[in-house]
Amino acid sequence: MQQQTFVSSTQTSSKLNQLSFALMQDAVRPTEEAFRAMYERGYRTWSNLFELAMEDMKAYPTELMFQLETAFPHHPSFPTNLNTDKRFADTVLVYGTSTWTTTQPPCTLPSFDETFSIPVASGRPTKITISDLPQSAFSYSRFANEDDDHTTVLLLAWSYILTARWAEIIPGASAPKYSDFEAAWAGEDNFETGGSKKCIVDVGDVDNDAARWWAAILALEGGWDATILSNTGCILHSPWSTKLESEHHFQLLRGKGTAAHHDAAQYFAPSFATALRYLSAYCEYHNASAQSQTALAATLMLPTAKFGGRHVRLPIPNIRLKPTPEKFTINVFSWMENVSQLDRLITLSCNARGGDAILGSVFYASDIDCNICGAWLQGSFAFLDSDVVLDPHILLRVLVKRDPDVGFLWLGAFIIGAQAYLLRKAQGASWKIDLSTSAWTGTSMSFIQQPVSVLPTGIQEISRADECRLLYLSHDPSYTTPPLFPFAPFGSTAILDTNIEVREHISCGQPHGLQYKGLAWHCRGSKRTMTSFTQIPLRAKIGNATETDLIVKYNDLDYEDDDTSMRGTHHLFTWLRDVDGFPIAERAIREHEWIENLDSDDDYEEPNDR
């Protein structure tokens, strides 16, 4: 068995207890001075990230484009024999089981399995509109300092391509089929440039099959669809199916003049490989292959936008009739040689909960407790909402700097406008916790992922964070689900007041921590397909609150209105004490106004993932 190592993540619990006592005005709330200091830490941390981002102004577009080809090499992909759960009227689910180990012999703390689900179908296509975006909105062409902007056209093409690949993987899914809707064509002789609601797209010297495909890709009301039938009789759609609804409409132009496909029935929607070749030819013709990478990043985020309950607004394409050379050359069709990586990205994209967790986690810090995390987030967003970062193109660079490995996901989120939803959730520490996605991507997103501290002999107390970790690792029936709130509980518990599982493993002499070991997909015929996994470390977040001449603005500091800390504290003590109750030593905590309604429904609930 491979040797496992666990590194202590906290100070000894006695020191933590003394520190917590010094910084708290009562049994739960920090003092106003401590709250103000944490607010300042958040403000200064993101200010420093802003300074770092401004030093690398020219680096981001290129780096983010190429991230897609190598991102998250340990992320699993769907096998082709998955068992699909079609019981629901609005989605189809597939399942996997993650296996976790917690320690090493001779400790008897067992390994455990956790089953998860990923939606692979949607009740409706994503609604997309195109319009002139206001100057305050994010625009990829402005971000990359490019004149041409093909991202809307390329996103619509990628939505088809990902869907065609999805249909090859997901059992029961039908391949894309054309509808009766098509974009209009214009011959070279009657080419029109007038009309603010018309957008001309030159697809190059293509054959009739390719021309028919582009007419479907850019059609209003949806020129194609790919579906899967639920057991309830509902027709469901691929996660990237789109429906274009806009006052602006596309008019197509090609080298051979008006497309000759009067008998639409003779054309069949192309396969994944053929559609990818059509897109590659377009990108070569327009020197737009680099923009294709960014459009792919945006397309991957469509399920997350839908998860947030919003439609997508995209800019009117700005396409020159005479293409100009681009700075970077990427062969779009090379994805055929890297289809295993594309399959990983498809699986990541379907898992909107995981994407939500990855991006929200940029606001997580492992050394911030639940009862003061609101101050950290108040200070963080006081800077991010300031005039300095008012420009969304700058905001994107700052967020990417915090965790560069997930930068392409942030880029995709900004292109489709999903960042507002993601940041709104992050401001309340409401991002999802997805431990499997964390392991697959090396993303730190919750205190529960940190190893249990190795305590010295004779210690009389344990930090509540380590108490929670041991309870979850023991996987007692009352603790099979991890806490949903990411920040750790404050303070310490006397060892005599902990339950038997905690006491046993405090003194067993072995390190304890959450270690991901592998995945089994639930496949047809009650079979399971195992995937191998190499343990990867969690990435450290970039940024700290170094002292500078920065003037911290305290306009948004509100000590009295700290709902985030209150909800998090309430949730964690519900999770920790709701089964066995509070020990006598914690009576003041039990009676605190943040905790006293313990028997009521927990405020920190997750919405229905479907």
DSSP-assigned states of every residue in 235-293: EEE-TT-EEE--S-EEEEEETTSS-----GGG--PPPHHHHHHHHHHHHHHHT-HHHHH
Helices (H), 453-590: 464-474, 500-506, 563-577, 587-590
Q: Compute the mean pLDDT over every residue in the chain, rounded to the nearest whole number.
A: 87
So what's the pLDDT on residue 310?
Answer: 74
C-alpha 401/C-alpha 395 separation (Å) is 10
Contact 516, 535 (CB under 8 A): yes
Whether the per-residue pLDDT at 261 is higher than 90: the answer is no
Burial readout 276-285 (b: 16 or more C-beta within 10 A, e: otherwise): bbbbbbbbbe
pLDDT at 255 > cutoff 50? yes
Position 606 scores a pLDDT of: 40
Spacing of C-alpha 570 from chain mean position? 26
CA atoms lying within 13 Å on the CB side of residue 391? 11
pLDDT of 54-103, one tens digit each? 987 665 667 787 899 999 999 999 999 999 999 999 999 999 999 999 99
The C-alpha atoms of residue 376 and residue 442 are separated, in whole angstroms, by 23
Containing 136, the helix (H) or strand (E) segment is none
Alpha-carbon distance 403 to 55, whole Å?
16
Answer yes or no: are the C-beta atoms of 216 and 224 closer than 8 Å: yes
Query: Would you say 160 and 217 are in contact if contact means Cβ atoms under 8 Å apart?
Result: yes
Determine what percent of the chain is predicted with pLDDT higher than 70.
87
Query: What values do phi and psi take at 126, rounded to 5?
Result: -75, 125
Containing 6, the helix (H) or strand (E) segment is: none
DSSP per-residue codes, 154-223: HHHHHHHHHHHHHHHHSTTPPPPEE-S---EE--STT-----TTEEEEEEES--HHHHHHHHHHT-TT-S
Give residue 264's pLDDT.
62
Average of pLDDT values for 503-520?
90
pLDDT of residue 609: 38
Q: Which amino acid is at 289?
A: S
Mean pLDDT, residues 500-508 taken together: 89
Which residue, chain included where needed, has tokens 């898992």?
351
Residue 41 to residue 60: CA distance in whole angstroms:
26
Block residue for tokens 């983010």: 64
Cα–Cα dist 588/196, whole Å: 67
- The pLDDT value given to residue 260: 53
- Which band of pLDDT confidence, cut at 50, 70 and 90, is reported for residue 7? very low
The mean pLDDT value for 330-343 works out to 85
The answer to whether residues 7 and 451 touch, using CB atoms and an 8 Å cutoff, is: yes
CA-angle at 469, arms to 463 and 473, nearest 5°: 145
Minimum mean pLDDT range among 163-167, 221-225, 528-532: 528-532
Structure tokens at 318: 């700005």
Rounded-to-integer distance, Cα 102 and Cα 172, Å: 38
* pLDDT at 15 > cutoff 50: no
Q: 211 exposed, middle or buried (CB, 10 Å; 0-12, 13-18, 19+)?
A: buried
- pLDDT of res. 605: 41
Residue 386: exposed, middle, or buried by beta-carbon count in 10 A (0-12, 13-18, 19+)? middle
Does residue 568 contact residue 372 with C-beta atoms inside 8 Å?
no
- Mean pLDDT score, 179-195: 67
Domain ranges of the chain: 1-67+85-90+351-509+537-610, 126-329
Higher pLDDT, 334 or 325: 334
Cα–Cα distance, 482 to 474 (Å, whole number): 11
Residue 480: in which H helix or E strand, if any? none
Task: Give the model confidence (pLDDT) of 16-56 as tens digits.
Answer: 344 444 567 789 999 999 999 999 999 999 999 999 999 87
**pLDDT confidence of residue 602:** 41
The arithmetic mean of pLDDT across residues 586-607, rounded, is 68
Which residues 6+ apart lie within 8 Å of 365 measured at CB? 376, 541
- Pick the residue with more confidence: 599 or 580? 580
Taking the CB of residue 530, how many other CB atoms lie within 10 A of it?
Answer: 12
Return the pLDDT at 262: 56
Which residue is it, tokens 């990818």?
Answer: 276
| Higher per-residue pLDDT: 135 or 272 | 272
Average pLDDT for 498-512? 89
pLDDT at residue 600 is higher than 80: no
pLDDT of residue 5: 33
Per-residue buried b or exposed e for 411-433, using 16+ beta carbons within 10 Å of the residue's own CB: bbbbbbbbbebbbebbbebbbbb
Whole-number pLDDT of residue 258 = 58
Find the angle CA(149)-CA(303)-CA(567) to the nearest 5 degrees. Answer: 120
The pLDDT tens digits of the residues spanning 480-497 come to 999 999 999 999 999 999
Instruction: Tell me what the mean pLDDT of segment 207-224 comes to.
Output: 95
CA 566 to chain CA mean position, Å: 25
pLDDT in tens, 540-553: 999 887 777 789 99
Terminal C-alpha separation, the chain: 39
Peptide bond into 315 cis (omega under 30): no
